Chains A and B, each alone.
Chain A
Amino acid sequence: MPLGMALSCIDQLKKIPTIGKIGLTGGEPFLLYPEVLEICRHASCKGLIVSCITNGYWARSEEETLAKMRELRAAGLATLYVSTDTFHQAFVPVESVRRILRAGRRVGLFVGVYMDVTRQSMRLPDLFEALKEEMVESAIFESPLFPVGRAQETLDAEDFFTRPGIPAEPCLRMNDLFVVPSGDVYPCCSAAGMQPPLRLGNVHETPLAQIAARLQRSFFHRLLAQRGPGWFAQALIERELIPSLQPAYVHACHLCYDLFSRPEWAAAVATLVEEEEIRRARRLLEAALLSQTEATHAAE
């Protein structure tokens, strides 16, 4: 993403009262390190809290790491997240993560750790034990990898932590505005969320404030946030709008990806939402009529 576009997004986000944090993600944001610093300075000057995620490839020595962490802290970065797990450690040694955690403590920059896990990979306690005391002031989040993108091609289906049935949880992520280099905006930063039916707009065409308002107003997105993709899946099957689902999913994001990445299913979802919206409007109308009738009776 060009720097000017990122800074313009920040200026626009600053005008949205409900937004106080921005997160820089990639790919690998540190490949554009001067831009990361500039974005941090710009956003923090405007009172936004800034976080960034990295794989930590750049933490090659204690000195280099400390210097960068100082620079980031001075630029206004509030939190740095590092992705490290079996898959990342094939390229970036855990020692780099240790350096980042150590430097974070020394310069007062909070460092959190994200790890993707499968049945065959290292798990949270393994990483905890590898990093031991460096984990003293941090947060570490284990996330079951799900078959999307390259993971779908390179890993065996049995490696994923799937559970039989339809995931029932609501969607807890549906509050973000995720802007990608093309300018497209999605309501969630998961790989599962970047599907055409979930797209909210494009910053080259629509101001971010309008896109944010669109998310707030969207019946479909609110339905997805409150009821989760499981509700959609169940309803689609009951109404025979789709033939069947996979027998097992890793979690709601996996199901969400499955539902919205297939154009023919996405069309079925659109039909379902339309029906639900009509039903809701009818319910509201009936409630209003009932209340009016009661008020009339009371007046009589």
Chain B
Amino acid sequence: MLQNSFCTIRITDECEIDCPVCGMPPLSRRAQSMSQEEILNCVAQVAQLPSLWAIHFAGGEPFLLFDDLVEAIRTTSARGLKTITITQAFWARSPGEARERIEALSEAGLTCLLIHTDRFHQPHVPLARIVNVVTAARAAGTLVYLFSTIGRGEETPGTILRSLTEEFVGLGVITRPLLPVGRAKEAVTPEDLLTIPEVPTAPCPDPIPRRLTVDVDGSVYPCFSHAGRMPPLRMGSLHQRPLSEIVTHPDSALLLAILKEHGPSWFLPALADAGIVLPGQRSGYVNVCHLCYEIFSDPEAAKVAHRALISSKRGR
């Protein structure tokens, strides 16, 4: 079921920078981190999942728990799994600092490093720090990709990339759309979003639960998108039962089955019957995750969706 999947462990909520378009709540409303014991317990449980390919250590800013991160990567790679982590590179003030940290991670077995590089992060993190990290990662033989969030009227990634490709040949960039989730919900307008011309009717893009996420508080969710971390999707908590049991018998089993088979658009007729019109139905959706978030972050819509689920269960 989890064949060649990767699991994300969000080791901390904390970050040095408070980007207005972050998919997480404002920094003032989050300050949780896992302890090293919790991280390693999490790794031990995740590593036992069948056919897992890699563990992704995410945040917040995972480098804020640097020693714990190194230990987690060492433990994971000793179990024969690949490791991925992500950073905004705020900490890479000099080539030496970047080299020291990347060498430590590489020696611990880090496979791949993602670096936030876009117009939302760069006002807080000078591009020279990205250069420091990419240089150090390449010297250490660690795969490195840029990770860019893109909104409408996007000129900046090209400009940022141009200065980076003068330094480096063979870069890779992974892009994700700006979603009105977390802080971004308040900061962005519908005009900032790159919407598609119709309501997304596809099933979940990443086959559930191949992108399992363990949150800082031990909650387990079926996907790593910030849009997917909502109570109705929660599969269970590591503080209450082991991960192997959560994966085989998730609290949200019925909802996950619907999302996997039909996607969140399955709930739209029930919402229409209840007279609920979601904002995106007027202004457009970026993708299926945006629709999912709108349904399950709106208490009224989530209630209607829940009732639709119960009826479908009876029908089945």
Contacts and interface: CB of A to CB of B under 8 A. Distances in A.
Interface of A: 17-21, 47-49, 73, 78, 105-110, 117, 123-125, 128-129, 132-133, 135-144, 161, 168-170, 172, 251
Contacts of B263: 108
Shortest beta-carbon contacts, A-B, top 9: A20-B4, A108-B202, A20-B3, A129-B158, A125-B161, A125-B162, A141-B172, A139-B174, A136-B177
B4, B173, B198, B205 interface centre (most CB from chain A within 10 Å): B173
Interface stretch (B163-171, B239-247, B252-260): B163-171
Interface in B166-201: 169-177, 194, 196-198, 200
Contacts of A21: 4
A108 B200 contact: yes
Contacts of A170: 141
Given A20-B3, A105-B196, A132-B154, A139 B207 contact: no
A143 B288 contact: no
B3 A172 contact: no
B211 to A, nearest CB: 12
B1, B170, B176 interface centre (most CB from chain A within 10 Å): B170
A100 to B, nearest CB: 14
Given A106-B197, A108-B263, A170-B141, A49 B207 contact: yes
Contacts of A47: 1, 3
B307 interface: no
Contact of A124 (B143, B165, B176, B202): B165
Interface in B120-178: 141, 143, 145, 150, 152, 154, 157-159, 161-162, 165, 169-177
B8 interface: no
A107 B172 contact: no
A108 B165 contact: no
Nearest to A78: B207
Given A128-B161, A133-B150, A137-B176, A117 B4 contact: no
B157, B169, B175, B177 interface centre (most CB from chain A within 10 Å): B169
A21 B3 CA distance: 8
A20 B287 contact: no
Contact of B173 (A17, A20, A124, A137): A124
Contacts, number: 99
Nearest to A49: B4
A129 B194 CA distance: 16
23 contacts: A47-B1, A49-B3, A49-B210, A106-B200, A107-B202, A108-B263, A117-B170, A123-B165, A124-B171, A124-B173, A125-B161, A128-B157, A128-B173, A133-B154, A133-B194, A137-B176, A137-B177, A138-B175, A139-B145, A139-B174, A143-B170, A144-B169, A172-B143
Contacts of A105: 196, 287
A109 B196 CA distance: 13
A291 to B, nearest CB: 21
B118 to A, nearest CB: 12
B141 A117 contact: no
Contacts of A136: 150, 154, 175-177, 194, 286
Contacts of A133: 150, 152, 154, 194
Interface of B: 1, 3-5, 51, 53, 141, 143, 145, 150, 152, 154, 157-159, 161-162, 165, 169-177, 194, 196-198, 200, 202-203, 205, 207, 210, 263, 286-288
Contacts of A172: 141, 143
Contacts of B207: 49, 78
A-side binding surface: helix, strand, loop or mixed? Answer: mixed
Contact of B203 (A19, A108, A110, A140): A108
Given A136-B150, A170-B141, A251-B170, A20 B51 contact: yes
B171 A142 contact: yes
A17 B169 CA distance: 36
Contacts of B145: 139
Nearest to A19: B4
Nearest to A169: B141
Contacts of A143: 170
A87 to B, nearest CB: 16
A167 B173 CA distance: 23
A151 to B, nearest CB: 15
Contacts of B51: 17-18, 20
Contacts of B288: 108
Given A73-B202, A125-B158, A135-B150, A140 B172 contact: yes
A132 B157 CA distance: 9
B53, B175, B203, B287 interface centre (most CB from chain A within 10 Å): B175
Contacts of B150: 133, 135-136
Contacts of A19: 4
Given A47-B3, A106-B196, A144 B170 contact: yes
Nearest to B1: A47
Nearest to A135: B175
Given A49-B4, A139-B172, A144-B169, A108 B287 contact: yes
Given A20-B53, A136-B177, A142 B200 contact: no
A48 B170 CA distance: 29
B158 A142 contact: no
A144 B5 CA distance: 29
A126 B174 CA distance: 16
Contacts of B177: 136-137
A124 to B, nearest CB: 5
Contact of A142 (B169, B203, B287): B169
Contacts of B162: 125
Nearest to A171: B141
